[in-house]
């Protein structure tokens, strides 16, 4: 049932030496390898922890409540154990890199969702990122996913064994009386033999294996949202995590693989959704335009590939700034329709917008229209999208011109839109400039750039020198060295005196722009070389980790000796 094996030997003096090698991240969750002396463990894992931590067999398992004050913690929390090191939200014990830490009593945190996140934030902010986290006695099939989402790597069978002793039948959807073992809900070996303990253990093992698969494709959030629907405390924990933006957002990549499922109310507060809308309002620089047209979204992504948007664009004919109104992202400028998650989300299409959606999207529209004052704003919308636009316009103190009579794609509506734009000047949409403002908080001067290729697979050249290309998977710009010359500051990773011969590792990083998130394009700069690449971890982790790849390097240029 465990994922540990014997490998290597003990460290100096017979004491075990531990390391944590992270291979894949998904927020605080990760797939990693933990090596303690001669034992190798693939994380996340669930096991009988005596296999991994020999010293725990003789432990008194001191009960130090999570809400205890610092004086109590200093007196009673064990300090003489290195494997695992005991940690506490009010403790001062800061283990070194590669250590495994244990949080006693974490199973009690589920009873207080707000404090759950406060305690997690206190400990995660204080300890090195390359630390393996153990939650003793906390894991059940129903909460294993959110434990992984919270950044715990090692779970044990204590909680499910206790449920077995209490005659409880555990599955990811909850707990039932033990006599349900033969009901057909599960057909595992334990159920076939009538062994409740074996079933409960296997249910936890399977759930953690599923969580690993979701981490591998960076979709653990989807699993957590589906599992937490059965437990009010877990929903509250998820919402409090989302509100802890300064803590959790840093760990969330700027783009993920696959589709973002927008199927629950919690999606409005997902870090990547909030980040996108905040950058649209705070970073994005639209091209000069007198008129803005608010358009409905489409099921097909990117929007411009849909039949409805081809009709909208034909009617607009470049005479206005095009802004797509959508839940959950709020507002997507046409120039950003390729940027994650604008081209990567899937939402149930019912035509119905609830009050929370209308308020959320209306707030974003209002902020955008307050910041960018257009002479005219046309709403080519209906239903909930129109209601959200009216809310936003009212907040911005402007009036809307409505060009819909019935459906937005009807001949009458499109004719009204065309007529409303009669005599307006054309707007020069510029995907390179627009994306650069959202991505780097800098609107690049693209007047000397030549765009080649067919949208969306475009590249920008200065003369014959390539400067930028658009990553078709994420919609983000990939600058060349020439492109970075046009971005004079920000998104830099400063390294020590060496020439990278491969990827840049965290110990070689001297400094990093705190805005850098996993997946961001970065310029690596040092006394001996510069390099272009993609961040493999956020800036905070680059500076606090003792191991791991910080930047996946694409090209390196050696600098002349001075």
Average confidence (pLDDT) per 10 residues, the chain, 562 residues: 48 60 94 88 91 73 86 84 83 83 94 97 93 95 98 96 97 94 93 96 98 96 94 96 92 90 90 96 96 96 95 97 96 96 90 89 97 97 95 96 94 97 93 96 92 87 94 94 95 96 96 97 97 97 94 96 74
145, 211 contact by CB (below 8 A) = yes
Q: Which residue(s) pair with 261 in the sheet?
A: 346
> What pLDDT is attached to residue 157?
96
Pairing outcome for strands 154-155 and 477-479: unpaired
Give the whole-angstrom CA distance, residue 191 versus residue 529: 61
pLDDT for the residue 515: 97
pLDDT at 500: 95
Give the pLDDT confidence score for residue 216 in this predicted structure: 95
The β-bridge relationship of strands 509-512 and 260-261 is: unpaired
Q: Which domains does the chain have, with CATH numbers?
A: 4-230 (3.20.20.105), 264-420 (3.40.50.10630)
Model pLDDT, residue 67: 94
| pLDDT score recorded for residue 371 | 97
Q: Count other Cβ atoms within 10 Å, centred on residue 424.
A: 17
- Alpha helix (H) residue ranges in 300-342: 307-316
Pairing label, strands 521-525, 492-495: parallel
pLDDT of 7 reads 42
| Inter-CA distances, 55 with 40, 46, 49, 119, Å | 17, 18, 10, 26
pTM for this model (two decimals):
0.92
**Distance between CA atoms of 532 and 520, rounded to whole angstroms?**
11
CA distance 348 to 418: 30
Q: Which residues are CB-neighbours of 75 under 8 A, at least 6 positions away?
A: none
Give residue 156's pLDDT: 95
């Amino acid at each position: 049932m465990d994922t540990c094996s014997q490998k290597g030997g003990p460290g100096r003096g017979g004491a075990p030496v531990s390391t944590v090698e992270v291979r894949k991240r998904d927020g605080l969750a990760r797939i990693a390898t933990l090596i303690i002396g001669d034992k190798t463990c693939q994380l996340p894992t669930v096991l009988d922890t005596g296999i991994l931590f020999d010293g725990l067999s003789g432990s008194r398992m001191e009960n130090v409540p999570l809400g205890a004050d610092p004086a109590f913690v200093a007196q009673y929390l064990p300090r003489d154990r290195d494997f695992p090191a005991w940690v506490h939200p009010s403790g001062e014990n800061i283990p070194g890199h590669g250590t495994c830490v244990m949080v006693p009593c974490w199973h009690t945190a589920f009873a207080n969702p707000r404090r759950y996140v406060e305690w997690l934030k206190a400990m995660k902010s204080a300890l090195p990122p390359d630390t393996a986290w153990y939650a003793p006695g906390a894991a059940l099939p129903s909460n294993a996913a959110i434990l992984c989402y919270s950044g715990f790597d090692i779970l044990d069978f204590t909680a499910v064994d206790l449920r077995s002793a209490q005659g409880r039948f555990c599955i990811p959807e909850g707990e039932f009386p033990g006599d349900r073992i033969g009901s057909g809900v599960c057909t595992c070996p334990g159920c076939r033999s009538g062994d409740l303990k074996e079933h409960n253990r296997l249910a936890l093992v399977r759930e953690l294996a599923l969580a690993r698969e979701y981490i591998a494709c960076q979709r653990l959030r989807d699993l957590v949202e589906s599992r937490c629907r059965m437990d009010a405390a877990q929903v509250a924990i998820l919402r409090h995590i989302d509100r802890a933006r300064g803590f959790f957002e840093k760990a969330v990549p700027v783009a993920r693989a696959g589709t973002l499922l927008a199927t629950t109310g919690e999606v409005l507060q997902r870090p990547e959704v909030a980040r996108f809308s905040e950058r649209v309002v705070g970073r994005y620089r639209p091209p000069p335009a007198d008129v803005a047209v608010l358009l409905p979204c489409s099921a097909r992504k990117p929007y411009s590939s849909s039949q409805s948007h081809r009709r909208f664009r034909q009617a607009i004919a470049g005479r206005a700034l095009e802004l797509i109104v959508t839940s959950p992202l709020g507002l997507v400028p046409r120039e950003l329709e390729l940027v994650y998650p604008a081209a990567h989300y899937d939402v149930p299409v019912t035509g119905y917008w609830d009050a929370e959606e209308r308020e959320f999207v209306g707030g974003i529209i209002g902020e955008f229209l307050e910041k960018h004052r257009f002479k005219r704003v046309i709403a080519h919308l209906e239903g909930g999208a129109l209601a959200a636009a009216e809310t936003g316009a009212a907040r911005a103190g402007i009036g809307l011109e409505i060009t819909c009579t019935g459906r937005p794609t009807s001949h009458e509506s499109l004719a009204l839109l065309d007529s409303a734009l009669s005599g307006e000047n054309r707007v020069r949409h510029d995907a390179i400039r627009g994306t650069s403002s959202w991505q780097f908080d800098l609107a690049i001067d693209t007047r000397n750039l030549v765009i080649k290729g067919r949208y969306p697979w475009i590249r920008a050249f200065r003369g014959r020198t390539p400067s930028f290309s658009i990553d078709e998977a994420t919609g983000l710009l990939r600058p060349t060295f020439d492109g970075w010359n046009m971005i004079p500051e920000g998104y830099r990773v400063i390294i020590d005196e060496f020439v990278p011969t491969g990827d840049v590792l965290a110990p070689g990083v001297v400094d990093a722009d705190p805005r850098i998130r996993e997946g961001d394009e970065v310029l690596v700069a040092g006394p001996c070389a510069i390099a272009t690449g993609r961040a493999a971890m956020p800036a905070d982790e680059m500076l606090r980790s003792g191991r791991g790849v910080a930047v996946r390097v694409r090209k390196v240029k050696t600098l002349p000796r001075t």
